[in-house]
Amino acid sequence: MNIIRDWFNRYFSDPQVVLLVLLIVGAVLAIILLGNMLAPAIAAVVLAFLLDGPADWLRRRGVSNIISVTIVFVSFLTIAFIAFVAILPPITGQFAQFFGLLPSMVTTLQDLAMKLPEAFPGFVDEAQVAELMAGVRAELIDVGQKALQFSLGGITNLITIVVYTILVPVMVFFFLKDRDVILAWLGSFLPAHRPLVRSIWLEVIDRTGDYARGKVYEILIVGFSSWAVYTVIDLRFAAFLALLTGLSVVIPYIGAALVTLPVAFVAFFQWGLTSEFVLAVGLYLVIQALDGNILAPLLFSEVVKLHPNAIIFSILLFGGIWGLWGVFFAIPLATGAHAVIKAWPRKNGDEIERKSDSTS
């Protein structure tokens, strides 16, 4: 018991540490318990967070706050409308076509797999292949049905459409316009002297903002580049596969491996084991290699300085807690956790590192 008491006194004797722990626990519980209820507000906060970078860029060049926010907000609505009208229809159409053709694709794959016992007698028998393909067929059809049910049942829900197309943009505008007022109001509930919380908050906000905006740029660049490549080689479902390729960068390492399967699956169904199939898969791997070795380092060289295992662990942890948003913000959240660890009291009794109040 003395060991536990000494440990507790060493790490929680400082009220700044207690305040930090209470804020972290409160934020996690609020998101877990109220995340679904507050989903539109969370989406609005995330969008405002992404748009605050361009607005701040305009403010630093002498443009007033209201004009900066208006320019950025109108530009955001224009881009969203263009995407909804010009990009979403072909993607959703190819999405439905892909899952509609999925059973026939599986049948083609099964016909090829049934030739394996002849090619490798003694190693593979027909019963094993049939059992394997039956499982694959069941899993793929189940995924297709769930995907179609989600698209038809969730996207066409009138209440959801109204909330996300009207309420979220309104909230985004006011989050951008009254950012300082909202942050000051939230800060009024905290102790006036909070250097530890302030220092960690500034580091997390700075890193998270750069990461989120860079990740959006990366998704757009990879997505449109993939669409151009898939269109040139005449790969079926080019828009749908380009969307998957762009979104694959959200989950480092894991996303690239997972999206290889649908790209290879479609290429095989379209061309079989031919040079066109090899070209399609090869170009996909080239896109991922260019993204991982050139584009991502350029966008995140000063933002992400974490070990690959730490990145994978954070994706699994935060994705399990907060789903898609947890996956998207896994790396900045891990960076924030690293900032907390750096500021935590050391075992040798060193004082907590703090930034001066002048950073406020």
DSSP for 81-115? HHIIIIIHHHHHHHHHHHHHHHHHHHHHHHHHHTT
Q: Do 239 and 352 belong to one domain?
A: yes
Asked if 206 and 319 count as a contact pair (C-beta separation under 8 A), the reply is no
Is 276 inside a domain boundary? yes
Among the residues of the chain, which ranges form H helices?
2-12, 15-34, 39-59, 65-82, 88-113, 116-119, 126-154, 158-162, 168-177, 179-187, 195-232, 238-248, 254-271, 275-290, 296-300, 308-328, 330-343
Q: Do 179 and 218 belong to one domain?
A: no
The predicted model scores a pTM of 0.70
Is 15 inside a domain boundary? no
Tokens linked to 267:
């290429």
Q: Do 181 and 297 belong to one domain?
A: no
Q: Do 184 and 211 belong to one domain?
A: no
Cβ neighbours of 194 (radius 10 Å): 20
Residue 264 CB contacts under 8 Å (≥ 6 apart), including other chains = 277, 280, 281, 284
Is 26 inside a domain boundary? no
At which residue do the structure tokens 């049948």 appear?
107
Q: Give the structural domain span for 64.
A: 35-189
Q: Which of 137, 161, 189 is the last residue of a domain?
A: 189
Q: Do 128 and 164 belong to one domain?
A: yes
Residue 102 CB contacts under 8 Å (≥ 6 apart), including other chains = 140, 141, 144
Asked if 236 and 266 count as a contact pair (C-beta separation under 8 A), the reply is yes
Q: Which amino acid is at 283?
A: L
Is 57 inside a domain boundary? yes
Q: Do 209 and 354 belong to one domain?
A: yes
Is 249 inside a domain boundary? yes
Asked if 55 and 69 count as a contact pair (C-beta separation under 8 A), the reply is yes
Q: At what angle do helices 275-290 and 238-248 cross, to 10 degrees?
A: 30
Query: CA 280 to CA 259: how far, in whole Å?
Result: 13
Q: Do 42 and 170 belong to one domain?
A: yes
Query: CA 252 to CA 219: how far, in whole Å?
Result: 12
Q: Three-state SS for 192?
A: coil
DSSP letter at 359?
Answer: G
Specify the pLDDT at position 101: 77
Tokens linked to 48:
């405002």
Q: Do 213 and 318 belong to one domain?
A: yes
Specify the pLDDT at position 163: 67
Tens-binned pLDDT, residue by residue, of the chain (360 aa) = 667 776 666 666 667 777 777 877 887 787 777 766 777 787 788 788 788 888 888 988 888 989 999 999 999 899 888 888 888 888 888 887 887 777 777 777 777 777 777 767 767 677 777 777 777 667 666 666 665 555 544 444 556 666 677 888 888 899 888 888 887 887 777 777 777 777 777 767 767 777 777 888 888 999 999 999 999 999 999 999 999 999 888 777 778 888 898 899 899 888 888 899 999 999 999 999 998 888 877 777 655 566 667 777 777 787 777 766 677 667 767 777 776 776 665 554 444 444 444 444
Specify the pLDDT at position 319: 75
Q: Do 123 and 242 belong to one domain?
A: no
Q: What separation in angstroms does the CA of 311 have from each of 25, 304, 318, 352? A: 22, 9, 11, 26
Specify the pLDDT at position 121: 72
Q: Which of 189, 223, 251 is the last residue of a domain?
A: 189
Is 29 inside a domain boundary? no
Tokens linked to 166:
């009207």
Q: Do 170 and 260 belong to one domain?
A: no
Specify the pLDDT at position 349: 45
Q: Do 258 and 180 belong to one domain?
A: no
Is 3 inside a domain boundary? no
Asked if 40 and 163 count as a contact pair (C-beta separation under 8 A), the reply is yes
Cβ neighbours of 1 (radius 10 Å): 5
Q: What separation in angstroms does the CA of 216 have from each of 51, 272, 304, 314? A: 11, 34, 15, 19
pLDDT tens for each residue of 184-213: 887 777 777 777 777 777 767 767 777 777
Specify the pLDDT at position 35: 66
Specify the pLDDT at position 150: 53
Number of separate domains in the chain: 2
Q: Do 167 and 130 belong to one domain?
A: yes
Count Cα atoms within 13 angstroms, Cβ side, for 238.
14
Specify the pLDDT at position 353: 44
At which residue do the structure tokens 């320019």 appear?
71
Q: Which of 189, 220, 237 is the last residue of a domain?
A: 189
Specify the pLDDT at position 151: 52
Specify the pLDDT at position 32: 72
Is 17 inside a domain boundary? no
Specify the pLDDT at position 282: 94
